[in-house]
Amino acid sequence: MVISRFAPSPTGYLHLGNARTAIFSYLFARHYGGKFILRIEDTDRERSTKEFENMLIEDLKWLGLDWDEFYRQSERFDIYREYAQRLVESGHAYPCFCTVEELEEERKKAEEKGVPYRYSGKCRVLTREEVESFKEDGKPYTIRFKVPEGRVVVFEDLIKGHIAINVDDFGDFVIVRSDGTPTYNFVVVVDDALMGVTHVIRGEDHIPNTPKQILIYEALNFQVPKFAHLPVILGEDRSKLSKRHGAVSVRNYREEGYIPEALFNYLCLLGWSPPEEGREILSKEELISIFRLEDINSSPAVFNKEKLRWMNGVYIREVVSLERLVDEFMPFLESAGYKVDRDYVKRVLEKTRDSFDTLKDGVERLKPFFAEEISYSEEAISVLENETSRAVIESFLQKVQEVELSGEKVKAIAKEIQKELGLKAKDVWHALRAVLTGELEGVGVDILCDVLPKEIVIKRMLKALQFMG
């Protein structure tokens, strides 16, 4: 069976890049009917927080991901301790008593000499007696993995292909910190092996770590999994997508009114493309059935907010059901301070969902449907100041009294007024629009009248007349 995992560290909000990694890893597992594991990598006790962990989980669920197993590394320290012990006993690792200061010194010297830095291996040659006596003195120590010399680690990456790295490039690395907590390169191996992970799917920034991990797999006699390193996501300036590029967390997009399925869909298209050309709007189910690691592009992709926006619009106007859209939209109306009836919102959205790209934009555009009081823009005011506008409004008020209000009716009335007053269609509509929406652009006056209660329409007319004095 295929087993993949997503292993975020709870040190911040779920980043778009990580979200995409999670999605690919998830799609892969589901495609093969395998298992998907979520593992919180919180071995760095300094930077990890429970709050971030909760938000990570919340965001992953919001995106539509689910997992079969859940682990938290901070709860598995006993396991790591045991395997670290084994490595020491088998001679693959050793205690190192060097202080941070000493190491800093080594690094500085290397830099001055212009040679690439790697740990000197000083403590590698400590005798048993020396080690014992240091320990008795209570000297803090780390445990380092002994990197074999002259070894070239080779692996076939499922995305990048053949990769060979000479491990002489890095020195013995720390697997257990002086405070007893294990480090990433070590725990990731122990966990992936123990959890039976068959495919390690992660960002390409992990490629340099891979040989170190393979060395540990071997030392522990674990079976080495397959690796698939995803290209990174870049910002507009082609550097790794980060906070300085603006909104880069899943949460940002959630708050801006993006539909989770749209974000999910868009993220999939960064670095991956469906085998069937031309179809880009794909549901989670479709993605699961067609997703293959082989179709992942090996070059980095620039995140394009415009296209995400467009895609979100597609989801709003034609993909999600009306009920779903209402559910998604309600919270945005509430946080904008509108107290409205769900049924009313549904009637509004049914006619207007094709005119905005994000829920937040929707709130703005649909203001005339929800706001108690509307305010006039400068352009609207200048229209209201037109002599003809008063006549239009007065006539409209009179004609609307005896009829049931609807978009069709309003069209008929507008035409009548136009004829009676000898105006251009534009003049009539502009006046009505200014009165009803306070703007000269936006939703159609007819659809506005289709759902807006008649008394509100009348109220706005009267208010306008009053405004005109």
The single residue among 148, 208, 331, 453 that binds RNA, judged by CB under 7 A, is 208
| Count of C-beta atoms within a 10 Å radius of residue 62 | 16
CB closer to RNA out of 181 and 198? 181
Q: Does residue 77 contact residue 41 with C-beta atoms inside 8 Å? A: no
Question: x/- binding map, residues 287-326, to RNA, per CB under 7 A?
Answer: --------x-xxxxxx-x-xx--x--xx--x---------
Q: Does 192 bind RNA (CB under 7 A)?
A: no
Residue type, 438: G
Q: Does residue 289 contact residue 389 with C-beta atoms inside 8 Å? A: no
Which range, of 25-33, 76-84, 236-244, 383-391, touches RNA by CB under 7 A?
A: 236-244
The single residue among 138, 150, 278, 422 that binds RNA, judged by CB under 7 A, is 278
The single residue among 24, 173, 264, 329 that binds RNA, judged by CB under 7 A, is 173
Residues contacting residue 205 through CB under 8 Å, at least 6 positions apart: 232
> Residue 311 Cβ, how far from RNA at the closest point, in Å?
7
Which range, of 53-61, 220-228, 274-282, 328-336, touches RNA by CB under 7 A?
A: 274-282
The single residue among 227, 356, 369, 376 that binds RNA, judged by CB under 7 A, is 356
> Residue 230 Cβ, how far from RNA at the closest point, in Å?
10
CB closer to RNA out of 99 and 395? 99
Residue 68 backbone dihedrals phi, psi, to 5 degrees: -90, -25
Residues contacting residue 372 through CB under 8 Å, at least 6 positions apart: none
Q: Does 150 bind RNA (CB under 7 A)?
A: no
Is 243 an active-site residue? yes
Token pair belonging to 405: 């209000």
CB closer to RNA out of 342 and 426? 426
Q: Does 254 bind RNA (CB under 7 A)?
A: no
> Residue 244 Cβ, how far from RNA at the closest point, in Å?
11
| Count of C-beta atoms within a 10 Å radius of residue 38 | 22
Q: Does 280 bind RNA (CB under 7 A)?
A: yes
Per DSSP, the three-state class of 249 is strand
CB closer to RNA out of 140 and 331? 140
Q: Which residue has the tokens 């415009």?
A: 306
The single residue among 52, 201, 429, 452 that binds RNA, judged by CB under 7 A, is 429
Q: Does residue 420 contact residue 381 with C-beta atoms inside 8 Å? A: no
The single residue among 78, 89, 137, 277 that binds RNA, judged by CB under 7 A, is 277
List strands edge to edge, sheet with 35-40: 69-72, 35-40, 3-6, 199-203, 226-230, 152-157, 161-166
* Closest residue by Cα to residue 189 from 156, 151, 223, 148: 223
Q: Does 5 bind RNA (CB under 7 A)?
A: no
Paired strand residues for 83: none
How big is the site for RNA, counted in residues (CB under 7 A)? 89
Q: Does 231 bind RNA (CB under 7 A)?
A: yes
Q: Does 408 bind RNA (CB under 7 A)?
A: no
> Residue 469 Cβ, how far from RNA at the closest point, in Å?
25
Q: Does residue 178 contact residue 142 with C-beta atoms inside 8 Å? A: yes
Q: Find the catalytic residue in 243, 419, 424, 426.
A: 243
The single residue among 170, 217, 222, 370 that binds RNA, judged by CB under 7 A, is 170
Which range, of 7-15, 82-90, 255-263, 397-405, touches RNA by CB under 7 A?
A: 7-15
Q: Does 335 bind RNA (CB under 7 A)?
A: no
Paired strand residues for 277: none
Q: Which residue has the tokens 């859940």?
A: 70
Residues contacting residue 226 through CB under 8 Å, at least 6 positions apart: 156, 158, 198, 199, 200
Q: Which residues are catalytic?
A: 243
